[in-house]
Amino acid sequence: MKTIICIVWFLGMVLSVQAQEQNAPVVGDTAPDFTLPYATKDSIAKSPLKLADLVGKRAVVLAFYPADWSTGCTKEVCTLRDNFAALQSLDAEILAVSGDYVWSHHEWAKFHSLPFRLLSDHSHAVAKLYGSLNEKSLYNRRTVFVIDKRGKIAYANMAYSVSDLQDFEKLQSALSAVK
């Protein structure tokens, strides 16, 4: 009986993730627009960032992550930091998004000297638009999108792994293709 309950629970989790992913934009879709407050290592911005203001200028890497200060998330943003020059050479704007408040983003960005913006999606409205919210935990799932200069989704990884170098290499390849 316990085995059956475990199987049913597992299948429910798989179907829940698949349902969330079905709501996510796919390659070729117009990227859902949003406006969010943000922080950098230097300050908390007085005006929010609007995605539409970036469209047409550069490709945008939109990286959703669960939470500031956690081990996996630190590894993810530090990988982006350590490869920032290479990503910028591919004409990319990096935006990292979690549900944390801007003051946490600011302190975390200062601590790790992060050279990109950390967006605060505390209501998780944007994570929902991108199919990146884990409805059970209410934390973002680790997902990455590349939005091209036309505002279209050029790449989507709905299960980005910080421990898999191939995922980062796929991101770089996707950016190379939209350059």
At residue 117, the pLDDT reads 97
DSSP conformational letter for 33: P
| Among 121, 74, 9, CA closest to 82 | 74
Q: How many CB atoms lie within 10 A of CB 2?
A: 6
Which residue has tokens 């999108």? 145
At residue 179, the pLDDT reads 65
Cβ contacts of 12 within 8 Å, gap of 6 or more = none
Residues across the chain: 179
Reply yes or no on whether 73 is catalytic.
yes
Distance CA 155, CA 114 (A): 23
Distance CA 117, CA 109 (A): 8
At residue 7, the pLDDT reads 47
Given a cut of 50, the residues of the chain with pLDDT beneath it are: 4-21
| Among 5, 21, 20, CA closest to 136 | 20
User: Of residues 36, 39, 60, 73, which has the active-site annotation?
Assistant: 73
Q: Kindly report the CATH number that applies to the domain delimited by 2-178.
A: 3.40.30.10
70-114 per-position pLDDT tens digit: 877 777 787 888 888 888 889 999 999 999 999 999 999 999 999
